[in-house]
A and B are shown apart, each in its own frame.
Chain A
Amino acid sequence: MIAILDYGSGNLRSAERAFATAGQEVIVTSDRALALEAQGLVVPGVGAFAACMAGLSKVNGSEIIRERIALERPVLGICIGMQILFSQGSEQSENGIHTGVGIWEGEVSKITAPILPHMGWNTVETHAQSELFKGVEEESFYFVHSYAAKSAVGKLSSWTTYGEPFISAVEDGYVTATQFHPEKSGDAGLQLIKNWVGAL
């Protein structure tokens, strides 16, 4: 069973259906026990870093994520769900620096590009040893974000360039993350989801 963590962030319905195409039972839940016991936990996220952290804290999401990783149980962060795994995020200056879950040391900061958000389909320079991108190395994925991590973390980082290079995916043992939305990336995204589910 796969659990999608429900903490008031975004459109979870299509995420639920996309993960179900990988042949697994999927539940959308904020229940701690279910989120801990599932074979895989998906942490989605849209909007702002600070708002996501606020939503996450209401369901003790940080603790659930940390506990799962300590128990060697897989977690997949998507979009802002990836960003909040870093130690901090900087937003507009009036909001300052925000503390993340802190699985990885590093900062998520605004992308330097002429037009923001980075919105649409872009390719990924995948790490040669990537299991996540197997079979879809050359495909495009759907991005929508203005902030990103720009320094490599974990075991394998894959990169995308929009204005400047940023990390578009991390594969780090039990923790996986994508800056793009695999659940919105058509057949390529569904294959990537199958790759992650297949490795659970």
Chain B
Amino acid sequence: MTLSVRIIPCLDVTDGRVVKGVNFTNLVDAGDPVEMAALYGIEGADELTFLDISASVAGRETTLDVVRRTAEQVFIPLTVGGGIRTVEDVDRLLRAGADKVSVNTAAIARPELIAEIADKFGSQVLVLSVDARRARTESGFEVTTHGGRESANLDALTWIDRACALGVGEILLNSMDADGTRAGYDLGMISAVRAVTKTPLIASGGAGTLADFAAALDAGADALLAASVFHFGMHRIGDVKSYLDANNYPVRTVANK
């Protein structure tokens, strides 16, 4: 018996549609979120992540509806992130059917938000999303905000260490340098973060070849998140799992339908 590696497709949602770009720009339409979530569920996704990148209040309401409709038909864990600033925002998403939420910018601005959410709902609902890139900070990695466009003037490892102490249940580590490039996960960043935390670590950004997924696990990731390689059909979730299984990584397989 071993805990399986989790494969997590990420759906960036705006105004009710899934979009994907390179380095967080040049967004292109990738499909209907509820349909895609259901398909990924059937294909064996171990969890789903929605990242709400809507800029408007109306867009956020649409995302709540997407979460609602997804949770009604897809019975695997669903994480929702994007624009969460208060305990009330978390409450709304959990009531709509999210199992976990991820916080990013708002927690950087006000770290107590982490403790507030963990105290109210438990740390297992809380994923710390860190958009990090290589920079001349103490660890060599810094935190960015606004989808990688701005520096938060914060060392990534220092921030992760602090956030874990405040009560996050999981870390989603997204490499801004690798995001959407399909050139491989930032392995140095993964192993540097793994060395400072005993909290589950999801690697994100840069997945391209099947070997990239295995390399991220070797670097210390517990779970692997990817978007464009799945949305644009470069790999099916089953392909990734078969490859990992053949290379002796523990995966959950689902029956073909």
Q: Which residues of A contact B (CB under 8 A)?
A: 10-11, 13-14, 17-18, 46-48, 51, 114-125, 140, 142-145, 160-162, 181, 183-187, 189-190
- Are B200 and A115 within 8 A (Cβ)? yes
For the complex formed, measure the closest distance between the CB of A158 and the CB atoms of chain B, giving whole angstroms: 11
Give the secondary structure class of A's interface: mixed
A161: B residues at CB distance < 8 A: 1
Q: Complex Cα distance A2/B127, Å?
A: 32
For the complex formed, measure the closest distance between the CB of B159 and the CB atoms of chain A, giving whole angstroms: 19
Q: Which of B4, B41, B73, B223 contacts A122 (CB 8 A)?
A: B4
- Are B169 and A140 within 8 A (Cβ)? no
B72: A residues at CB distance < 8 A: 13-14, 17
Given contacts A13-B97, A162-B3, A184-B77, contact A120 B41 (CB under 8 A): no
A14: B residues at CB distance < 8 A: 71-72, 75, 78, 97, 99
Pairs across A and B, CB under 8 Å, 24 listed: A11-B99, A13-B95, A13-B96, A14-B75, A46-B125, A48-B122, A115-B198, A117-B124, A118-B3, A119-B200, A120-B3, A120-B5, A120-B222, A120-B223, A121-B252, A122-B1, A122-B3, A140-B4, A140-B252, A144-B124, A185-B75, A186-B75, A186-B254, A189-B75
Q: Complex Cα distance A50/B105, Å?
A: 30
Q: How large is the interface on B (under 10, 10 to 19, 20 to 34, 35 or more residues)?
A: 35 or more
List the 6 closest pairs (A to B, CB-CB), nearest first: A47-B122, A121-B252, A121-B4, A140-B252, A14-B71, A13-B97
A-B contacts counted at CB < 8 A amount to 103
Q: Complex Cα distance A184/B72, Å?
A: 11
Q: Complex Cα distance A161/B5, Å?
A: 15
B123: A residues at CB distance < 8 A: 117
- Are A187 and B3 within 8 A (Cβ)? no
For the complex formed, measure the closest distance between the CB of B114 and the CB atoms of chain A, giving whole angstroms: 15
- Are B170 and A119 within 8 A (Cβ)? yes
Q: Which residues of B from 93 to 126 have beta carbons under 8 Å from A?
A: 94-99, 121-125
- Are B41 and A186 within 8 A (Cβ)? yes
Given contacts A13-B95, A140-B252, contact A160 B122 (CB under 8 A): no
For the complex formed, measure the closest distance between the CB of B226 and the CB atoms of chain A, giving whole angstroms: 16
A142: B residues at CB distance < 8 A: 76-77
